[in-house]
């Protein structure tokens, strides 16, 4: 009885997850994140279909070929050694599934890694132990930098803003060891490697506040290497840019 209750509970949990709108995963706050979510959706559905077929065949085999009470105790049941059509089918179907999933992943990764010729915003992100240095290069001229305060328990990381519906080019690098630029709400992570520059685009599609952090263990204060991303409407973003530039100019005089 207990085993049956556990099985029923597991089936209900799986059904609730599969029937949820997000399939157990955030949808992503950028266009790139939405592409990743779509790929996850495809893989999840494929896994449900394959799993359902496998479990159905197992159940059918257990019922169809179970030993009856009327059978002798030493009866083994009928068996066969070769069935070419079945062997062809169960070999071809997994190959087709794997090729299809590989093609879907390749196309999605190609879209996520694609960069536009003229982004609306260029953001240089420099990782260091243990913080971030974000430098904005504005197309209209001028730049300013947002830097992490000294890291430690309870110290908030830097806050940056991105414009909703515009393309942001992130130019990522590291000053010392391997770090990682990770915004879970964007479904996006990219390693920051010393001596190398990585460029990628982010196109925010959902306003809100997102937590960012380093996702590669980089030393003592790794867990404090956080930052906050605010996605706001373009007008609010321009006002924030102007305030940041004015504040930096005032600090330099």
Does residue 248 contact residue 224 with C-beta atoms inside 8 Å? no
Q: Which two tokens stand for residue 47?
A: 């896994």
Q: Is the pLDDT of residue 241 over 50?
A: yes
Lowest mean pLDDT among 55-64, 138-147, 241-250: 138-147
If we measure between CA atoms, which residue out of 179, 212, 214, 213 comes closest to residue 193? 179
Lowest mean pLDDT among 46-55, 79-88, 217-226: 79-88
Does residue 165 contact residue 139 with C-beta atoms inside 8 Å? no
Percentage of the chain beyond pLDDT 70 is: 85
**pLDDT of the residue at 142:** 64
**pLDDT of the residue at 6:** 45
- Sheet with 188-192: list strands edge to edge: 159-163, 226-232, 208-213, 179-183, 188-192
If we measure between CA atoms, which residue out of 225, 227, 224, 228 comes closest to residue 154? 224
Mean pLDDT of 233-249: 86
**pLDDT of the residue at 34:** 93
Does the predicted TM-score (pTM) go above 0.85? no
28: left (phi over 0), alpha (psi -120 to 50) or beta: left
Q: Is the pLDDT of residue 9 over 70?
A: no
In Å, what is the CA distance from 49 to each residue of 3, 45, 54, 173, 249? 25, 6, 9, 42, 60
Q: Is the pLDDT of residue 153 over 90?
A: no
- Say how far apart CA 132 and CA 149 lie, in whole Å: 9
If we measure between CA atoms, which residue out of 243, 92, 103 comes closest to residue 159? 243
∠ Cα 174 177 181 (to 5°): 50
Give kind and range of the element (H or E) at residue 182.
Answer: strand 179-183
Q: Is the pLDDT of residue 31 over 70?
A: yes
Residue 149 or 77, more confident = 149
Q: Is the pLDDT of residue 101 over 90?
A: yes
Residue 82 CA to its chain's centroid (Å): 44
Q: Which two tokens stand for residue 75?
A: 């009866």
**pLDDT of the residue at 22:** 67
By DSSP bridging, strand 226-232 and strand 208-213 are antiparallel
Rounded to 10 deg, the angle between the 31-64 and 84-113 helix axes is: 170
Mean pLDDT of 228-235: 95
């Amino acid at each position: 009885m207990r085993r049956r209750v556990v099985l029923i509970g597991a089936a209900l949990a799986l059904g609730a997850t599969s029937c949820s709108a997000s399939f157990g995963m955030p949808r992503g706050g950028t266009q790139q994140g939405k592409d990743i979510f779509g790929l996850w959706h495809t893989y999840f559905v494929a896994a449900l279909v394959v799993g359902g077929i496998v479990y159905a065949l197992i159940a059918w085999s257990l019922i169809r070929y179970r030993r009856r009470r009327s059978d002798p105790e030493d009866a083994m049941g009928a068996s066969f050694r070769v069935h070419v059509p079945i062997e062809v089918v169960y070999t071809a179907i997994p190959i087709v599934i794997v090729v299809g999933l590989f093609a879907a992943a390749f196309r999605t990764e190609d879209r996520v890694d694609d960069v536009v010729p003229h982004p609306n915003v260029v953001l240089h992100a420099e990782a260091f132990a243990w913080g971030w240095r974000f430098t904005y290069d504005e197309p209209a001229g001028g730049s300013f930098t947002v830097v992490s305060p000294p890291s430690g328990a309870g110290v908030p990381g830097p806050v940056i803003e991105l414009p909703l519906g515009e393309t942001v080019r992130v130019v990522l690098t590291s000053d010392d060891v391997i770090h990682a630029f990770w915004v879970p709400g964007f479904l996006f992570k990219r390693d920051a490697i010393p001596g190398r520059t990585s460029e990628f685009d982010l196109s925010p599609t959902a306003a809100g506040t997102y937590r960012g952090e380093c996702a590669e263990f980089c030393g003592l204060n790794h867990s404090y290497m956080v930052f906050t991303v605010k996605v706001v409407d373009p007008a609010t973003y321009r006002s924030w840019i102007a305030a940041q530039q004015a504040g930096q100019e005032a600090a330099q005089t």
